[in-house]
Amino acid sequence: MTLRLSYREAMREALREALHGDPRVFLMGEDVGRYGGSYAVSKGLLEEFGPERVRDTPLSELGFTGAGIGAALGGMRPIVEVMTVNFSLLALDQIVNTAALYRHMSGGQFSVPLVIRMATGAGRQVAAQHSHSFEGWFASIPGIRVLAPATVEDARRMLAPALAAPDPVLIFEHAGLYNMEEEIPEASSVDIHTAQVRRAGKDVSLIAYGGGLPKAKQAAELLSAQGIDAEVVDLRVLRPLDDATIMESVAKCRRAVIVDEGWRSVGLAAEVMARIVEQVFYELDAPLARVCSAEVPIPYARHLEEAALPQADKIAAAACQLIS
């Protein structure tokens, strides 16, 4: 049996399942209750579970993220929703200096079983302040796990293992994916440890995550029309990276393009490239390539925004250059 859901509906069903399954779970954040969430993910949950379980918060990311940490330390299983990734900067002290460090600094006496969800990414004409992709920043921080579900099934199934984890988990939901619909198994499970090969191939490995995954898949189709068999790897777990799956794909295809909606300089793509060079350099038949966002604040104008972001044709062109 399969279900057809949108990415948004999948996240909502995951939240509903978590709230039904464990009385310690509650959702908190700006507009998650009466408004139904900025992206309508939590629509209807307030009416179903009440204001104790679905809590609207003041406009203070620092404050309500800290409250979530305190609740987690006290035995609850909070899900904190930060409206967009750019607002997470207001909560950096709580995430980086408290949640990520508590287990280490307490000598293992305390853990923070906290899930923080946030919308990320560009491509929606919401201008520079609402188009950031800071997943790579958070992926550099020890003490947290960073997830980037890019399929409807991952959106539906990743929340449960995230809530079961003893330490903080950050889930980045690309806002450009909320309307995407896919068929998923009615009952399935996914892990929050491994990358996944979404399309098998042999000529070049396209390594992507989040909003970059659909574009990598489109690029693979463009390459297929030219007789190039591209493999598509979905990182999906950004910390800790699944080196084994990455290296297996690169060693097989012997060429790789890394796709990252973050900026090129000091980005996640650079980290993936460095690991490939460290571990499977002698398997490569060509230099590594990366397709990242332009080094500019994301423009508002549609044509400029599209030009600044990774696109399927840019990814395909980078792969063709490696092969030629």
* Whether residue 111 is found in the same domain as residue 203: no
* Whether residue 171 is found in the same domain as residue 214: no
Q: Which domain holds residue 311?
A: 196-323
Q: How far apart are CA 198 and CA 211, in angstroms?
A: 14
Assessment of whether the complete model's pTM goes beyond 0.85: yes
Q: Is the Cα torsion angle 136, 163, 71, 173 positive or negative in sign?
A: positive
Q: How far apart are CA 265 and CA 295, in angstroms?
A: 8
Domain annotation covers residue 190: no
Which alpha helices (DSSP H) does 7-118 contain, by range? 7-21, 45-49, 61-73, 92, 102-105
Blockwise average pLDDT, block size 10, the chain, 324 residues: 94 98 98 96 98 97 98 98 96 97 95 97 93 96 98 98 97 97 93 98 98 98 98 98 98 98 96 98 98 96 97 98 92
Examine the residue annotation and report whether 61 is marked as an active-site residue of this protein: yes
Domain annotation covers residue 40: yes
- pLDDT tens figures, 41-76: 999 999 999 999 999 999 999 999 999 999 999 999
In sequence order, which residues have a C-beta less than 8 Å from that of residue 47 and are 6 or more positions away?
A: none
CATH code (residue 306): 3.40.50.920
Number of domain units in the chain: 2
* Whether residue 239 is found in the same domain as residue 204: yes
Q: Specify the pLDDT at position 238.
A: 98
* Candidates 9, 30, 81, 130; catalytic one: 130
Examine the residue annotation and report whether 193 is marked as an active-site residue of this protein: no
Q: Specify the pLDDT at position 229.
A: 98
Domain annotation covers residue 87: yes
Q: Specify the pLDDT at position 140.
A: 97
* Whether residue 181 is found in the same domain as residue 220: no
Q: Specify the pLDDT at position 290.
A: 98
Q: Specify the pLDDT at position 242.
A: 98
Closest residue by Cα to residue 79 from 42, 49, 115, 36: 115
